[in-house]
């Protein structure tokens, strides 16, 4: 772990669900923070029962307790960034949005988790409007995959042109920036990064690995961690894209289904490539 000039390790506050198989969700977020040399603090929004093959159940944490977890961490650690993953319900989305309004973290990265890699539904469909209104409208960056972009925009997103159009629609909601992930399109892995100033296409060779669990969680967390480490948003997105490509190549099996990517392997270690953050005055 790296320390700032005060001797404090910078932190990211992670909102998300617990994956009992340890392949995605908060478990992957925490490993990613460790890989980036920052501290991961976590607010558990839901507990899932899942393996590498299926999600068999989930239990949401009451929104009031989500708030208590977040405010308790904030009062002591003062995280510079918030990253949201599985939020599960409208009440939780509202609680997280209210917390961000009060705490005013420098960065809010929203991974709009809706469905697990194995097909389990992780967000109540009626909560999508609240996600758009309360969080995406105020975030620094939102990182939907193709299916999530379709749900958020209300139309098909099945081509590169569609990805650019979806990015514009999400910017129109108020997001500071958008990363539409095209990993499920055929061909090379192309993502579209968009800000009000323009669009970039981020290309990477496609990996044939079957073990890709946690990719979306790790990418969003990597961006948040890189921001905390001092990169500008465009730099952080590009760095995280290159890093996640290496982590996917290192994915490994732990059961009979799709295993996790490896964010802690020697080949994916990003710490020596990133700056040491400057200290900031705490808020909240």
Positions marked active-site:
181, 212, 214-217
Residue 270 CA: distances (Å) to CA of 166, 189, 214, 246: 30, 21, 18, 11
Rounded CA gap, 10 and 278, in Å? 9
In 3D space, the residue among 81, 146, 79 whose CA is nearest the CA of residue 112 turns out to be 146
Rounded CA gap, 193 and 33, in Å? 22
In 3D space, the residue among 80, 82, 142 whose CA is nearest the CA of residue 108 turns out to be 82
Rounded CA gap, 180 and 201, in Å? 10
What pairing do the DSSP bridges indicate for beta strands 11-19 and 81-84? parallel
Buried b (16+ CB within 10 A) or exposed e, 71-84: eebbeebbbbbbbb
| 1 in Cβ contact with 30 (< 8 Å) | no
Helix (H), strand (E) at residue 62: none
Rounded CA gap, 220 and 225, in Å? 9
Rounded CA gap, 220 and 14, in Å? 10
Rounded CA gap, 154 and 168, in Å? 13
């Amino acid at each position: 772990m790296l320390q700032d000039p005060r001797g404090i390790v910078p932190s990211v506050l992670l909102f998300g669900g617990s994956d009992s198989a340890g392949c995605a969700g908060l478990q992957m977020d925490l490993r990613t923070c460790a890989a980036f040399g920052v501290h991961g603090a976590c607010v558990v929004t839901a507990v899932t029962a899942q393996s590498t093959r299926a999600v068999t159940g989930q239990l949401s944490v009451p929104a009031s307790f989500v708030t208590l977890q977040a405010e308790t961490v904030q009062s002591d650690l003062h995280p510079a960034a918030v990253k949201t993953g599985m939020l599960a319900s409208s009440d939780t989305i509202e609680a997280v949005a209210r917390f961000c309004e009060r705490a005013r973290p420098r960065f809010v990265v929203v991974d709009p988790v809706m469905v697990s890699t194995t097909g389990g539904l992780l967000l109540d469909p009626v909560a999508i409007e609240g996600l758009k209104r309360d969080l995406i409208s105020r975030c620094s960056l939102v990182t939907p995959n193709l299916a999530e972009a379709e749900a958020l925009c209300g139309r098909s997103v099945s081509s590169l042109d569609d990805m650019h159009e979806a990015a514009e629609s999400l910017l129109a909601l108020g997001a500071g920036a958008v990363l539409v992930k095209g990993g499920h399109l055929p061909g090379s892995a192309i993502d579209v990064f968009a800000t009000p100033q323009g669009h970039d296409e981020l290309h990477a060779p496609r990996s044939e690995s079957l073990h890709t669990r946690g990719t979306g969680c790790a990418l969003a967390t990597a961006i948040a961690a890189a921001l905390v480490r001092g990169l500008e948003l465009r730099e952080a997105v590009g760095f995280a894209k290159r890093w996640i490509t290496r982590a996917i190549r290192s994915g490994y099996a732990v059961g009979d289904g799709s295993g996790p990517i490896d964010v802690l392997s020697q080949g994916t270690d990003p710490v020596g490539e990133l700056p040491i953050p400057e200290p900031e005055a705490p808020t909240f």
